Copies of this chain bind each other. A is one copy, B any other.
Amino acid sequence: MSQDTEHMESTRLLQDLQSGNRRMLARGISWVENQVPGYRELLRALPADRLTAVPVIGFTGPPGAGKSTLVDRIIGEMVSKGHKIAVLCVDPSSPFHYGALLGDRVRMSNWFNHPSVYIRSLASRGSLGGLHARIIEITDLLKAAGFDYILVETVGVGQSEVEIAGLADTTVVVLVPEAGDEIQTMKAGLMEIADVFVVNKGDRPGADLFVRNLRRILSPDHNNGERAAEVFLTTATSGGGIDSLAATLLLSRSRDHKRKSWLLAERAYQLIVSRRMEQVSRAGLRQKISEALAAHDFNLYRFIENY
């Protein structure tokens, strides 16, 4: 593909993707994942205002906390308010894309053909942490594609919790009442990344007590007067408590630039370094060095400085 063809292709792809063409959105994601020539031009052309305006809501928590059912309910609430929703399911254990859909995520399957909902599963392979290596790029494509909210669901293992907090504007940590016994020993990071705690499976014994304890721990008195995370009690299977949780999530805004800039800076660093490495041509170096040697004027350390 020539430069011109690449340019035409990526311009066309962006237009189609922005007009809501799902097939073209899937192609755009595939371009980014496989670094198809033209993918950089596509990413550069994404409108900055949408990239900074569309909120990403991250859901994390231990396996079995009912995250998929909860997200399924949240989609329902958001769609009923007229919003268009994109959902990324990041499965750290699945070696193949879509593999996870046969498991828990089958609960979301009634949304697969809904015109206001786009669901995509991603394997976390290739990422240094817990999330997909190109998840930032993929959320950016979804933002450009006209969705009002991007939901990202991930199992809380490894680095994924820290990364989700960097990716999301609002981070939801989903727990079950039984976690109350471990609240004191809970990973410290979990308390820091959560904007919202959800105690799901609220019909189980001890749910109310857990919520009270969490709220006490998270009160400004315990947090040097700072705003701490909100706590919600839900029963996703029956839909209990979902409406007020969804109402809060709909208010999500890009609010914590400092936290968000951490993950973006890490990704920017990776991209800048790899771009600068590409710019250095080994063959070019060799040619120049060979010429300098022939001219009997070569100091390696001055050479690299002027390169």
Chain A interfacial positions (CB closer than 8 Å to B): 40, 43-44, 46-49, 51-53, 136-137, 140, 254, 257-258, 260-262, 264-269, 271-273, 275-277, 280, 282, 285-287, 289-290, 292-294, 296-305, 307
5 contacts between A and B (CB under 8 A): A48-B297, A48-B298, A48-B299, A49-B297, A261-B293
Interface contact A293-B254, CB-CB below 8 Å: yes
Contact partner of A276 among B137, B276, B290, B293, CB < 8 A?
B276
- Given A273-B280, A280-B269, A285-B268, A260 contacting B293 (CB threshold 8 A): yes
* In the complex, chain B residues whose CB is within 8 Å of the CB of A47: 299
In the bound complex, how far is the Cα of B135 from the Cα of A37, in angstroms? 40
- Given A273-B276, A276-B273, A282 contacting B294 (CB threshold 8 A): no
Interface contact A290-B48, CB-CB below 8 Å: no
Interface contact A296-B264, CB-CB below 8 Å: no
Query: Chain A: interface secondary structure?
Result: helix
Contact partner of A140 among B137, B290, B300, CB < 8 A?
B300
In the bound complex, how far is the Cα of B166 from the Cα of A289, in angstroms? 13
* In the complex, chain B residues whose CB is within 8 Å of the CB of A40: 301
Which residue on chain B has the smallest CB distance to residue A271? B304
Among A52, A140, A300, the one with the most B-chain Cβ atoms within 10 Å of its Cβ is: A300
- Given A49-B297, A300-B140, A301-B46, A261 contacting B282 (CB threshold 8 A): no
A192 CB to closest chain B CB (Å) equals 17
In the bound complex, how far is the Cα of B137 from the Cα of A53, in angstroms? 52
A169 CB to closest chain B CB (Å) equals 10
A284 CB to closest chain B CB (Å) equals 9
- Given A261-B286, A290-B257, A300 contacting B273 (CB threshold 8 A): no
A173 CB to closest chain B CB (Å) equals 23
Interface contact A261-B289, CB-CB below 8 Å: yes
Interface contact B254-A266, CB-CB below 8 Å: no
* In the complex, chain B residues whose CB is within 8 Å of the CB of A282: 265-266, 269
Contact partner of A261 among B257, B269, B290, CB < 8 A?
B290
* In the complex, chain B residues whose CB is within 8 Å of the CB of A269: 280, 282, 285
Which residue on chain B has the smallest CB distance to residue A297? B48
Interface contact A303-B261, CB-CB below 8 Å: no
A57 CB to closest chain B CB (Å) equals 17
* In the complex, chain B residues whose CB is within 8 Å of the CB of A262: 286
In the bound complex, how far is the Cα of B304 from the Cα of A272, in angstroms? 6
* In the complex, chain B residues whose CB is within 8 Å of the CB of A305: 44, 275
In the bound complex, how far is the Cα of B282 from the Cα of A17, in angstroms? 33
Contact partner of A257 among B136, B272, B285, B294, CB < 8 A?
B294
- Given A261-B290, A268-B285, A298 contacting B140 (CB threshold 8 A): no
Which residue on chain B has the smallest CB distance to residue A299? B48
A292 CB to closest chain B CB (Å) equals 8
A132 CB to closest chain B CB (Å) equals 15
Interface contact A257-B293, CB-CB below 8 Å: yes
